[in-house]
């Protein structure tokens, strides 16, 4: 078993003056201090970072050694799986611990995006699509394709998407680290307007996650180290499923890769949906969150909307989703996102999520996704000591 | 223990018409066929790829699923540690097997470089330097800094570097997969000329490795799978050491990170230098190979040259180094290089290196390096069944 014993998390947003290295150092130092781990005790470092041309730092792993000189000669490795690069780092560190190669792992996720014009960010993220067939396609256009296919099969879900956006914006009000603190009414989100323009029909500005700078970090440890710690969150399951990269080889009305990741995570953990208290899932676009409800089995295919209408995924609902504000309002520094989700759920299950706290939460889920259901990571986290 | 049971390797060189995906598919299929593993038996895929802007494919992991439709839903992850990205993939796969998360792992390394003008390749590789202090510095300039520091401390070693280049070019004559099949006399390599211009003094064209396309693959498995296989190569040790990224924080006359990686690999394996029969090491520049001799303890500091004069690192010497031709003449598709080294040493220790074969080899070493001694990977490989 592998355990999270501490975490760090920068503010997400436009962080002028902080580059990739600065963000890594801030989140990493905070996580080590929070865990009560001296830098010299770290056996290995795993870093999630997408880049895709957004920064010239093409070899960031050793930047983590700037956290402390005692980290010199510590193995450090960058992982990339598009917007799931953060979870890729978590999973690689977990393997190293389970392999006995590390007792204490520092996991980092980082991205620097806001220094670029939106056009350049879109082009960089577009590199996560299948170039042979989808070159030049932006991610809003990719997910608009999913939304159109979904709407065609199940009817127009504009209002459901608006309810997701409004929910996540409302949730972010309780998260001081979130990029945006602005409530958006459902009606505003459901309506095309000057302030909420169509980006790629049927997706409007309010359906898209943010362009963000930020970093997050967790300290992962082996059983014997966790035992001595005041706080520990167990990874009850961690399952990764990759699907075909080309959209042409996938069903755009169902997230088959995500569905398989959820299935495996439930199987491996023995946990059912009914056991979960909170979930942080990958709402890069509102349509993604809607389809994730169905992929995880919270709603039957085509029925995700009912969860919103019944309040099931709202704060204090059956399974509150994205109490942090999600990628939609917390922000989405892509390489940091997967690690951030692990931090947020760890805070929930240890009762330290402050204003975001879901009463009595002790078991939570992370679902982090690279591309449009291509790299899929599901983690089940459970508090041991809080 | 983790074992290599099969491998694949494209030709290295200018492979027009083959993109990243094509190279992955070719090497991956060859490795699975060689190992006698059906695609459906693969539990996970790890891919080394640097990119740095050389290709628009920013999310290549799932391209590996194009090897065979049976790979759908198999976890696939990209690793990046500059020119050691290939070994990063080997090490991550090894951890997954030791963790019990995979029985059979497919490891891929790939890079596509030759479609770009040399200037653009140099700029992309330059992204592996520390941008805050070294932006715009090309890697020939980085290693020229090491060469100047080394020459200043130990005297002019122009001829030693030329002997390394000549040795590796001669060795490549026996490797049909090598990019260059052209013997270069020591005198040619030692002399600045129109055909061998100064690139970054004191490094001339003949001191620099090649710009290459290519991919390599290995199949790594757990004990119980290896037991049933006709061929197996044990990873007796696999050690990774990262050093500080900025050159300003490192001694340019000694490879301290590599030295520590070698020390740990010898300690972990119980192997000594005298036990080794062959080594494939990271000769991205001839000065790197010279300094690696000293870092591994084959020669005292400043004495690397004597190994060349005594013939110790030549074919049939005490420890032949880079019988494949090395990065210098085999080629250096950066993400593929670490995997390629594991393939070449596996072939040596199983007696299947054909014209390259070192008689009686059964124990070999890989040393793969990212940046200038920043990410350092040392593997000790030993034949079990050949």
Rg, chain A, Cα only:
19
C-alpha to C-alpha distance for B181 and A34, rounded to whole angstroms: 57
The answer to whether residue A361 is domain-embedded is: no
Tokens describing residue A358: 């879901």
Lookup: tokens for A215: 């970093």
Domain contains B171:
no
Angle CA A348–A350–A356, to nearest 5: 30
Is B332 labeled as catalytic in the residue annotation?
yes
Question: Helix, strand, coil % (nearest 5) of chain A?
Answer: 40, 20, 40
- What residue in A sits closest to B240 (Cα-Cα)? A75
Contacts A19 to B, Cβ<8 Å:
132
Q: How far is CA B147 from CA B151, B156, B162, in A?
A: 6, 9, 13
- Cβ distance B56 to A98 less than 8 Å, yes or no, reads no
- What is the spatial distance between Cα A147 and Cα A160, in angstroms, rounded to a whole number? 12
Cβ contact A76–B124 (<8 Å): no
The DSSP secondary-structure symbol of B321 reads: B
Distance from CA of A237 to the nearest CA of B (A): 11
Q: Of the candidates B53, B79, B135, which has its C-beta nearest A77's C-beta?
A: B79
Cα–Cα distance for residue pair B24/B150, rounded to 1 Å: 38
Specify the 3-state DSSP secondary structure of B116.
coil
Q: Name the active-site residue from B9, B332, B342, B378.
A: B332
Collect the ranges in chain B with pLDDT lower than 50.
none
Per-residue pLDDT at B385? 75
Note whether A244 contacts B370, CB cutoff 8 Å: no
- How do residues B2-30 score in pLDDT, each as one tens digit? 999 999 999 999 999 999 999 999 999 99
Contact list in B for residue A135 (CB cut-off 8 A) is: 56
Q: State the pLDDT at residue A153.
A: 98
Residue bearing tokens 């692990």: A342
Query: Is ipTM strictly over 0.95?
Result: yes
Phi, psi for residue A370 in degrees, rounded to 5: -105, 130
β-pairing verdict for A76-80 and A278-281? unpaired
> How far apart, in whole angstroms, are the C-alpha atoms of residue A63 and residue A24?
8
Structural domain includes residue B109: yes
Query: Distance (Å) from the C-alpha of residue B222 to the closest C-alpha of chain A?
Result: 12
Predicted confidence band of residue A385 (pLDDT cuts 50, 70, 90): confident
* Strand ranges inside A64-197, DSSP E: 76-80, 104-111
Peptide bond into A80 cis (omega under 30): no
- Residues of A labelled as active-site residues: 83, 332
Q: Is residue A67, in this structure, part of any structural domain at all? A: yes
- Within a domain: A103: yes
What confidence tens digit (pLDDT) does each residue in B222-243 have? 999 999 999 999 999 999 999 9
The closest alpha carbon to B59, from B80, B44, B40, belongs to B80
What are the DSSP E strand ranges found in chain A? 2-9, 44-48, 76-80, 104-111, 198-200, 203-204, 214-222, 232-242, 278-281, 363-370, 375-385
What pLDDT digit, counting tens, does each position of A175-231 carry?
Answer: 999 999 999 999 999 999 999 999 999 999 999 999 999 999 999 999 999 999 999
pLDDT at B101: 98
Contacts of B63 in chain A (CB under 8 A): 245
Which pairs from B148-153 meet CB under 8 Å and 24+ separation? B148/B201, B148/B202, B149/B252, B149/B253, B150/B252, B150/B253, B150/B287, B150/B290, B150/B291, B151/B202, B152/B253, B153/B253, B153/B302
What average pLDDT does chain A have? 97
What is the DSSP code string of A159-171?
HHHHHHHHHHHHH
User: Which residue among A62, A99, A132 places its CB closest to the CB of B98?
Assistant: A99
State whether A375 and B100 contact (CB < 8 Å).
no
* pLDDT score recorded for residue B381: 98
pLDDT at residue A178, as a whole number: 98
The minimum CA-CA distance between A325 and chain B, rounded to whole Å, is: 26
The CA distance from A42 to the nearest CA of chain B, in Å, is: 13
Q: What is the CATH number of the domain that holds B38?
A: 3.40.47.10
For residue B292, what are the contacts with CB-CB under 8 A and spacing of at least 6?
A: B255, B258, B281, B282, B283, B367, B369
Whether residue B77 and residue A79 make contact (CB cut-off 8 A), yes or no, is: yes
Residue B54 belongs to a domain: yes
The DSSP annotation for A5-16 comes to EEEEEPPPB--T
* Contact between A72 and B243 (Cβ < 8 Å): yes
Structure confidence at residue A311 (pLDDT): 98
Q: Do B53 and A58 touch (CB under 8 A)?
A: yes
**Which among B78, B96, B98 is the nearest to A80, CB-wise?**
B78
Alpha-carbon span A290 to A72, nearest angstrom: 45
Other Cβ atoms within 10 Å of A69 Cβ, number? 11
Kindly identify which residue of chain A lies nearest to residue B131, measuring between CA atoms. Answer: A57
Q: Which among B62, B100, B257 has the least Cβ separation from residue A244?
A: B62
Q: What does the alpha-carbon distance between residue B190 and residue B156 come to, in Å, rounded to a whole number?
A: 11
Q: Record the tokens describing residue B352, joined without a space.
A: 């299947």
Distance CA A255, CA A175 (A): 29
Residue B342 is among the residues annotated as catalytic for this protein = no
Residue A170 has pLDDT above 70, yes or no: yes
As to burial, measured by CB atoms within 10 angstroms (0-12 exposed, 13-18 middle, 19+ buried), residue A16 is exposed
Three-state DSSP at B33 gives: helix
pLDDT of residue A386: 64
Shortest CA gap B186–chain A (Å): 34
Closest to A327 (Cα-Cα) out of A372, A263, A264, A283: A283
Catalytic-role residue among B9, B34, B83, B189 = B83
Angle at which helices A85-98 and B85-98 cross, to 10°: 50
Please check whether residue A342 lies inside any domain of the structure: no
Instruction: Give the pLDDT band (50/70/90) at residue A299.
Output: very high
Cβ distance A56 to B91 less than 8 Å, yes or no, reads no
pLDDT of residue B386: 65
The Cα B30–Cα B51 span in angstroms is 23
The Cα of B348 is separated from the nearest Cα of chain A by a number of Å equal to 27
Residue to test with chain B: of A23, A62, A260, most B Cβ within 10 A:
A62
Closest residue in B to A55 (Cα) is: B127
Cβ contacts of A361-365, under 8 Å, gap ≥ 24: A361/A277, A361/A278, A362/A277, A362/A386, A363/A236, A363/A271, A363/A275, A363/A276, A363/A277, A364/A276, A364/A277, A364/A278, A364/A279, A364/A280, A365/A265, A365/A276, A365/A278, A365/A279, A365/A280, A365/A281, A365/A296
Q: How many CB pairs under 8 A join A and B?
A: 186
Cβ contacts (< 8 Å) between B245 and chain A: which residues?
A: 59, 62-63, 65-66
Select from B103, B130, B88 the least CA-distant residue to B42.
Answer: B103
Residue A357 DSSP code: P
Q: Please report the pLDDT score of residue A201 as a whole number.
A: 97
CA-CA-CA-CA dihedral for B13, B18, B21, B25, to nearest 10: -80
Strands A375-385, A232-242: pairing is antiparallel
- Mean of the pLDDT values across residues A51-69? 97
Q: Within 13 Å and on the Cβ side, how many CA atoms surround A343?
A: 32
Rounded to an integer, what is the distance from CA A252 to the centroid of its chain?
21
Domain hosting B85: range is 2-116+211-227
**Are the Cβ atoms of B88 and A72 closer than 8 angstroms?**
no
Distances (CA, A) of A213 to A8, A330, A343, B185, B260: 15, 11, 17, 53, 35
List the beta bridge partners of residue B375.
B242, B370
Nearest CB to B242; choose among A50, A61, A245: A61
Of A61, A77, A245, the CB nearest to B62: A245
CA A63 – CA A203 distance, rounded (Å): 37
Tell whether B105 is covered by a domain. Answer: yes
- Whether A149 shows a pLDDT value over 80: the answer reads yes
Tally of structural domains, chain B? 1
From chain B, the residues in CB contact with A65 under 8 A are 242-245
């Amino acid at each position: 078993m592998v355990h999270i014993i501490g975490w760090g998390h920068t503010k997400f947003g436009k962080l002028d003056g902080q580059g990739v290295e600065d963000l890594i150092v801030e989140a990493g130092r905070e996580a080590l201090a929070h865990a009560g781990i001296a830098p010299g005790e770290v056996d290995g470092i795993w870093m999630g970072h997408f880049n895709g041309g957004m920064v010239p730092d093409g070899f960031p792993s050793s930047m983590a050694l700037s956290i402390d000189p005692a980290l010199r000669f510590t193995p450090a490795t960058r992982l990339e799986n598009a917007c799931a690069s953060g979870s890729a780092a978590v999973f690689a560190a977990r393997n190293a611990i389970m392999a006995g190669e590390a007792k204490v792992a520092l996991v980092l996720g980082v991205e620097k995006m806001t220094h670029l014009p939106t056009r350049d960010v879109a082009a960089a993220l577009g590199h996560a699509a299948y170039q042979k067939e989808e070159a030049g396609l932006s991610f809003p256009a990719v997910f608009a394709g999913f939304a159109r296919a979904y709407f065609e099969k199940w009817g127009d879900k504009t209002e459901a998407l608006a309810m997701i956006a409004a929910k996540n914006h409302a949730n972010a009000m309780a998260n001081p680290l979130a990029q945006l603190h602005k409530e958006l009414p459902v009606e505003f989100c459901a309506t095309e307007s000057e302030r909420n323009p169509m980006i790629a029909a049927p997706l409007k500005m309010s359906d898209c996650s943010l362009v963000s700078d930020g970093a997050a970090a967790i300290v992962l440890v082996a059983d014997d180290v966790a035992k001595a710690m005041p706080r520990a969150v167990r990874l009850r399951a961690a399952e990764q499923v990759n699907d075909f990269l080309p959209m042409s080889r996938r069903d755009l009305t169902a997230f088959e890769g995500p569905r398989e990741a959820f299935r495996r995570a439930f199987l491996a953990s023995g946990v059912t949906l009914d056991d979960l208290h909170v979930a942080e899932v990958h709402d890069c676009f509102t349509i993604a969150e809607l389809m994730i409800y169905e992929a995880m089995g919270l709603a039957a295919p085509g029925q995700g909307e009912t969860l919103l209408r019944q309040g099931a995924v709202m704060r204090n609902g059956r399974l509150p989703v994205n109490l942090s504000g999600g990628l939609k309002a917390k922000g989405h520094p892509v390489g940091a996102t997967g690690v951030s989700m692990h931090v947020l759920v760890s805070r929930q299950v240890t009762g330290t999520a402050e204003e975001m706290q879901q009463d009595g939460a002790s078991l939570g889920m992370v679902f982090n996704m690279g591309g449009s259901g291509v790299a899929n990571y599901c983690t089940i986290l459970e508090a041991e000591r809080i």
